[in-house]
Amino acid sequence: NVNERGQLHADLTASVKLNTLFVFSDDYALQGNMSSKMTLDGTLQDPLLNGRINIQNGAVETSSMSIKNITIDSIIRNSKITIQKAIAQDKNSYIDIKGSADFGISNYIPRVLCDWTVKFSNYDLINSDNLLCNCDGEIRATGPITHLTLSGPLKLKGQYDTTNATTTSYKDIRIIR
């Protein structure tokens, strides 16, 4: 609802399969079940979102990467999402994410500012026919989601084709797109 002064109010409840909500291309696949219960208040120029978003049995798959068994529990307060739990587990390995993302709109253009800590423990991030990349360590991802800055120690073990596995340790990784 929008009243005569331009004030918004809506109660939003959803339960959807991610593969029907997010379709990027034939190269990417999202799976899992997302449930949410939120309220939208404020104005069109300054909307405020509050509530919860949860994902169960999630997966992200590409031709060379597969992250499965994803569980995410998050709270949204004043359009800032706080990740209470975000984990992907596979056998004896995992990815664990903590942090927040601040959602806003400026001149009707959405913006997302992130501050995440991502911990990898013996996780095969890339596993394709000719390339293997196993990750250990903890990185921090900050900034706008379109231009994330990654920093921190990350140990990568890789193997390409039939060459022997090599181990390289990267400290203070900074990737700017």
Beta strand pairing status for 7-17 and 109-127? Answer: unpaired
- Residue from 137, 124, 131 nearest 169 by CA: 137
Q: For the segment 126-138, what is each residue's pLDDT rounded down to a tens digit? A: 766 666 778 899 9
In this prediction the pTM is 0.73
Residue 89 has a CB neighbour count (10 Å cut-off) of 15
Mean pLDDT of the chain: 80
29/133 Cα distance (integer angstroms): 20
Q: For the segment 49-83, what is each residue's pLDDT rounded down to a tens digit? A: 899 999 999 988 876 677 889 999 999 998 888 99
Q: Torsion angle of alpha carbons 156, 158, 164, 170, nearest 10°?
A: -30
